[in-house]
Each structure stands twice: as C-alpha cells, then as structure tokens.
Amino acid sequence: MLSLHIRHQVICRGVVASVLVLLAVPLALAQPLPDKFPAAPALPDYLAWARSHNPRLVAQSAEADVLHEKSREAGALPGLKLAWAEMVVPVETRVGPQQRVFSVSQSIPWFGTLSARENSVASEAAAAHEILRGLGWQVEREVRLAWYELGFVQEQIAIVERNLELARQTEIHSRARYESGEGQYASLLNAQMEIGRLDARLAGLWDQLTPATARLNIAAGLETDRATPGFVASPPALMHAVLPSRESLAATLGENNPALAAWRHRQESRRHSIAAAGRRSYPDLTFGVDYIMTGEATIAGMDDSGRDPVIARVAVNVPLWGGQVGAQQKASASRLRATSAGLSDTRQRLAGDLENVLFSWREAGRNLELYGQTLLPRSEQNLSVVTASYESGQAGFEDLQAARQMHLGLELALLRAGTDRLLALNDLGALLGVSMDDLAAGNLPNSRAHTATNSATKTESE
C-alpha cells in the first residue's frame, strides 16, 4: 500500500509539472525574444522587446517560478532522520556490552496528504502564471496604446502642416491682391494671423512627440530618451473590422480572461487546502531501523557473543486533540468562500468592462461613418466652392478661413475617431486575452466557451 501511495505522489507531481510548463508560456509571451533592439523599429519590435524586458513582466515571472518550486517542495516527503547515540556507560548484556546506536527513520503523512498539499500550492502557481499571462496582455495593450497615440500625433502634424502650407499660399495670394489694389489689408492680416495660429499649433504637436515617445519606450521597457520611430500609420483594416457577436465575446471573456482563470485556480487551491486540513485528523506514520553496536561478551564461549541487534520500529502520531484540525478546516472553508466571492465579483466587473469597451467601439464606428462618409465629403465640396469664390473675388477671406477651419476640425475629428476605434479594439483584446488581428478576423479561442462558462458558473454555486 505504501508503494502505491508513493507512486501516486510521483504521478501527481509529473502531471502538475507538465501543466505548469504549459502555463509558464502565456499566449502573449510565446514568441521568440529579441537580443538587440532594431534601429528602425516597428510595432512588432516594441511588442517583442516588451515581452522580455518589461520590468513588471520580469518580476511576475520570477514570482510564478517561486510558487512552482514551492509546489514541488510541498509534495515532497519529510527528510530522512539519521541519529547516533553513544553509550556513556555501556550496558552489559548476555552477548556483550552495548556501545552505540545508529538509527534511521522516515515519517510519512497519511495517504493523500502530500498530494493535497502539492495540488494546493500548484494551483496557486497556476494562478500566478495566469496573472503573468494577463500582465503580458496588459503590457501589450499599453505598448499599442502608446504606439497608436504616437501615430495620432504624427498624423495631426501632417494635417496641420498641409493646412499651414495652404495658409501660406493664401497669404501670398492676399498680399498680391493687396499690392495690386484688389484686396483689403484686413484680409492680409487675417491670413498672417492664421499662419501664426497654425505655426503655434504645429510647434505644440512637435513638442508632444517627446512625451508620446517616452510613454512608448517605458511601456516596452526601453530608455525614455530613445528616438521617435518613423511615421506610424493606422491600420484601416482593424478600424473597419466586424467583431464577433456579443455572445461569443462574452463566452470568450468567461473562458479566456486571465484574471478569471487565476481566480478559478485559487478556488481549486482552497479546495485542496480543505482536503489537506481534513487529512490532518488521521495519524502520521514513522518507520525506522535501529542498529546497536555490541562488544564481545565477557564470558567466553557465549553464543551470539558480540552480535549486533537490529530493531525495526513503527511509530504512530495520533492526533487526539481535534481543535487545531477543526480550526484549519474552518479557516480553509472561509478562504474558499472568500475566493468564490472574489471570482463572482471579478466576473461581474469584467462583464461591465466588456459593455463599456463595446460601447466605445460602436461610438467610434459611428463617428468614423459620420465624419468619413457624411461630413468630410461635404466639407471638401464646400471648401472647393469657397476657395473658387475667394480666388474670383466673390467671397472674402473670412469665408475661406471659416471653411478651412471647419474642414481642419473635421479632419482631426475623423483622425480621433479612427484612433479611438483602434484603442477600443486594443482594450477588448487585452480584456479577452486575444490579439487584435484575431479579433478582427473573428478567431476566438472559445470553441468550448459556452460549456466552460456554464461549468464555471455551476462550480461557483457549489
């Protein structure tokens, strides 16, 4: 029976170790890690660098490794005890004087105790690896957020520079008309004031590149003074993606969200703790062997003279007092209730976060359609008409200035809507533990999402 128990311990440790090896490679981190940051980096370079160099990821990875080693420690047998005793006054026996005693003993907890302890700590280690996986997605979210915000600033610079060039051309045209006596001096002054406003706005945007780049570098685990990357273009395919149904997204959230998975592993750890506490009410066994060194007998010709006796012994630790065991069982049950409540609370909060992210996605989509398909095309027509009227002398500079300012505002609003759309998709990916590309393609790891969600809900209720 003892050999079967030990074999069971070995099998459990092997299964737990295999599971932890799989969990130790989160989806967001399971890509080759770079040794040197490229000179002309793109978004994948920042993401890859962050996976291996972000300080929070490095720290959490170390914490998960600690718990993994502790699970191995918890499932190990107590140390073998070796003892040596020297007879100060040798005990004279019929076969000779007993001089010294050598002992070896091994304590074995009740059957199933070690596996319960190991599984409890292993579940905590699995929770730590899920936290690591969630942190990986959070770091990726922060890198993408900084990347797209940096692109937003760069695209604003391009739009304002284009409008500034138009303003300078208009100033030249106004100056020529004023010098020829066809235009008013006020129009020339307004054109110069418009150039000044756009110059100041452009200078602010150029200055904004520094903190935007610093946020990107910090998120990736780089030095804050690293140079700004080249022009960041927004991917239109992601902006106009069609997401899976809300039911599919909710099912993926329940199955794949790292925070929920961590809570479920903690819940399992508490159940194993209750089992381990319950087994403390059973006795522990200690097996030992004593070897007594004996000298030659003083009486010559004595049978078995100088023979060293060997004693096999078994000790039983009987837990007569159940107060400590009962207290541990109640404490473990209370921890299980607290963990179950934490799991339910996290699920409710994440469901609310999902609704908020989906609203942001829909709102940004409405703005994209409004500005891109309705307002901006009409603004372009209006600007063309006003520009032609101004050049022919039928409209004043104030009309042209108003049309340009309105068009600039709509261009920036469209740009903001596109960036918000990307950021909403980015938030959704971090929430679900799914990449933005997979979300846009409708590839969700929820083939068993509905089943897993229903099973998790049933488990909580139990």
Mind listing the pLDDT tens digit of every residue in the chain (462 residues)?
Answer: 333 333 334 333 333 333 333 333 343 444 455 568 888 889 999 999 999 888 999 899 998 888 888 887 877 788 888 999 888 877 777 777 878 889 998 888 877 888 888 888 889 999 999 999 999 999 999 999 999 999 999 999 999 999 999 999 888 888 887 778 777 788 788 888 999 999 999 999 999 999 999 999 999 999 888 888 887 777 888 999 999 999 999 999 999 999 999 999 999 998 988 888 777 777 888 888 988 888 887 777 677 777 788 889 888 887 766 567 778 888 888 989 999 999 999 999 999 999 999 999 999 999 999 999 999 999 999 999 998 988 887 888 888 889 999 999 999 999 999 999 999 999 999 999 999 999 988 889 864 444 444 444 444 433
**308: its two tokens:** 């060293």
Q: Nearest Cα to 260, choosing from 431, 82, 120, 458?
A: 431
Q: Please check whether residues 413 and 363 belong to one and the same domain.
A: yes
Q: Please check whether residues 124 and 66 belong to one and the same domain.
A: yes
Tell which of 269, 296, 318 closes a domain. 318
Q: Please check whether residues 290 and 346 belong to one and the same domain.
A: no
Instruction: Report pTM.
Output: 0.77
* Alpha carbon separation from 288 to 80, 111, 260, 311, 414 (Å, rounded): 10, 18, 47, 8, 81
**pLDDT of res. 6:** 36
Q: Please check whether residues 273 and 303 belong to one and the same domain.
A: no
C-alpha span between 21 and 6 (Å, rounded):
23
Q: Please check whether residues 72 and 164 belong to one and the same domain.
A: yes
Tell which of 266, 293, 318 closes a domain. 318
Q: Is 395 helix (H, G, I), strand (E, B) or coil?
A: coil
Q: Please check whether residues 264 and 289 belong to one and the same domain.
A: no
Helices (H), 257-396: 258-279, 323-369, 376-391
147: which residues sit within 8 A by CB, 6+ positions away?
43, 46, 216, 232
Q: Please check whether residues 178 and 311 belong to one and the same domain.
A: no
C-alpha span between 375 and 239 (Å, rounded):
18
Q: Please check whether residues 58 and 169 belong to one and the same domain.
A: yes
Q: What letters, b where the CB count within 10 A reaches 16 and e where it falls short, cover 428-442?
A: bbbbbbbbbeebbee
Q: Please check whether residues 293 and 441 belong to one and the same domain.
A: no
- Structural domain including 435 reads 2-76+111-281+324-461
**pLDDT of res. 418:** 95
- How is residue 224 annotated by DSSP? T
Give the DSSP letter string of 271-305.
HHHHHHHHHTTSPEEEEEEEEEEE---SSTT-TTT
Q: Please check whether residues 269 and 387 belong to one and the same domain.
A: yes
**pLDDT of res. 17:** 38
* Alpha carbon separation from 37 to 33, 50, 362 (Å, rounded): 10, 11, 36
**pLDDT of res. 200:** 96
**pLDDT of res. 215:** 94
**pLDDT of res. 321:** 64
Phi, psi angles (nearest 5°) of residue 375: -75, -50
**180: its two tokens:** 């020829």
What's the total number of domains in the chain?
2
Q: Please check whether residues 160 and 205 belong to one and the same domain.
A: yes
Q: Please check whether residues 245 and 117 belong to one and the same domain.
A: yes
Tell which of 263, 293, 318 closes a domain. 318
